[in-house]
Amino acid sequence: MCWQCDHPGATWQDYLEHLRELLEQHCWIVQGVQRERRRPPYAYTVGLAAHGRPELVVTGMPYDRAVELLNRVAEHVVHADAPRPGEVLPLPGGPVTEIVRVTEPAVHLAVAAALNGPQFTALQLVYADDRGHWPWDAGFRGGNGGQPVLGARAAVSWRAGGRRRRVGADDSGPAS
């Protein structure tokens, strides 16, 4: 169960204090948002902004997979440059993702906004389906609710000669 379910008498401020305590021990945490009617679930990091990095978000992915993906990319982001919008990350053993700058992070990442204030940046990890189609492609199979994209795609993408990089692999050269 979630912390809020385990503490039904707790307030929003109690929850934020609990997260502050966790963030004293960890560089970031992952906040999940459950599916609601037609809105698919999503998850995002909280804490990266305090280290001068963008928060990360993924939509339409089951929570356990989202946590794994966000943690893998966050681990990289903490120690290297954050990926740029339009950059494609072919993650070892994971989905190919394209980076999209989130237009209004404070609207979608409520806990991050409560802890960071409204002025922070966020990047969405948009992933291709099992056939290599993106949410903006015809024929994308995104399941119930799809994969909402929370910003506009960058003008330059990997298909147009943008940079590709493997996260979690040797970053000494270009990705293949």
Q: Which pTM was predicted?
A: 0.83
In this structure, the strands spanning 88-90 and 55-59 are: unpaired
Q: Is 35 part of any domain?
A: yes
In the structure, how many helices (H) and strands (E) does the chain have?
5, 6
Q: Is 27 part of any domain?
A: yes
Q: Is 165 part of any domain?
A: no
Domain range enclosing 57: 3-160
Residue type (1 letter), 34: Q
Q: Is 173 part of any domain?
A: no
Residue 145 is classified by DSSP as T
Q: Is 174 part of any domain?
A: no
Q: Is 125 part of any domain?
A: yes
pLDDT tens digits along 107-136: 999 999 999 888 899 999 999 888 888 998
pLDDT tens digits along 131-157: 888 998 888 887 666 899 999 988 754
Q: Is 176 part of any domain?
A: no
Q: Is 171 part of any domain?
A: no
Burial of 77 per CB tally in 10 Å (0-12, 13-18, 19+): buried
In total, how many domains does the chain have? 1
